[in-house]
Amino acid sequence: MFVKILPSFPRFRSPTPMETESSSQRNGILLMLLSIVLFAVNVLLLRAIALAVPAVDGYVASIFRGLVGWCVIYLAFRGRGFEPRRLFSSPMLLLRGVVGAAGILLFYVTINHLGAGRAVILNLTYPIFGAVMAAAFLKESLRVGQLAWMLVGLVGLGVFLAGSASDGGVTRYEVLALLGAVVAGAAVVLIRVLSRTEHASTIYASQCIWSFLAGLPLGFKPLAEVTPMAAGVLVVASVLVSVGQLALTHSFRTLSVAKGSSIQMLLPLATAVGGVLFFGERYSPLELFGAFITLAATWQVVRGPGVR
């Protein structure tokens, strides 16, 4: 009889499909959280440099974001999934680029006029529009309760804008911010569709090209007034937002539009706190109440079963 002296090791097994899906969901959530941090820092940097150098408006910021973003994609993903030829042969990539660039330009223009926190609060209503579009075009589930919360969110948005009206009326930049939210909702749906077949770098590169082109007509002349310091800050901000956009795009491979967008509800909080701390931005009690209702309702719209 032989004595067993070797220790017994646990047998390794392949993960079950449920475990694999859970791991993919966890990675998608972590990437989405990373994108929130990078987006918030980007917005605050743009706000800071616009206050220091008035020539740095939304058009100039769009030019830098497009150009630097393209360089990041080319250097990091050349030969590793990036397919530049697809940018001109795929109608869906072309549409994603144009829609994404329009949303970025609208958002950047409103940051300078509304402040970091207010612009982000209005822009972050995009999950409502994205959820409706995803239900219509991607057949993602949208419950009756979610529709009711959408109405609550719109009421909260009205209260938030009423707070602005009490300080002088709703401005055209607040209207542009809401239009940007609609456009951003469409962009997220396009990302969700394209992420099934296209590499994240190719999807983001389509937006970079059109962001650069969209900013040129009105941003080319002010470029001459951009100081070296301002250019450096714009480059850093553009690199951060490029990494954040790639993280967001990749996360939508495993997260639905509703679930991924729900995590983005943390962005207004981070940006608004930064706006108060660094730029002295202030909100009336009515605006805070309306913002809370809108963001809470948006969370209820986009959160799915099991979302915590």
304: Cα within 13 Å, side-chain hemisphere: 14
pLDDT of 151 > 50? The answer is yes
> What does the alpha-carbon distance between residue 14 and residue 8 come to, in Å, rounded to a whole number?
19
How far is the CA of 183 from the CAs of 2, 190, 208, 279, in angstroms? 73, 11, 16, 28
pLDDT of 15 > 70? The answer is no
pLDDT of 2 > 50? The answer is no
Q: What is the pTM of this model?
A: 0.78
pLDDT of 68 > 60? The answer is yes
> Would you say 253 and 199 are in contact if contact means Cβ atoms under 8 Å apart?
no
Domain ranges of the chain: 28-143+172-282
Percent of the chain residues past pLDDT 70, beyond the cut: 86
> What does the alpha-carbon distance between residue 207 and residue 100 come to, in Å, rounded to a whole number?
5
Mean pLDDT computed over 237-266 = 80
pLDDT of 12 > 70? The answer is no
pLDDT of 213 > 50? The answer is yes
pLDDT score of 23: 74
Question: Which of 102-106, 164-168, 254-258 is predicted least confidently?
Answer: 164-168
Q: Is the dihedral of CA 176, 70, 270, 297 positive or negative?
A: positive
Note the Cα 133 to chain centre separation in Å. Answer: 16
> Would you say 234 and 60 are in contact if contact means Cβ atoms under 8 Å apart?
yes
Where does the pLDDT of residue 165 fall: very low under 50, low under 70, confident under 90, or very high at 90 and above?
low
More confident residue, 196 or 219: 219
Q: How many CB atoms lie within 10 A of CB 188?
A: 26
Element at 251 (helix H, strand E): helix 228-251
Measured between alpha carbons, how far apart are the two ends of the chain, in Å? 56
Please name the residues in contact with 12: beta carbons below 8 A apart, sequence gap of 6 or more.
Answer: none
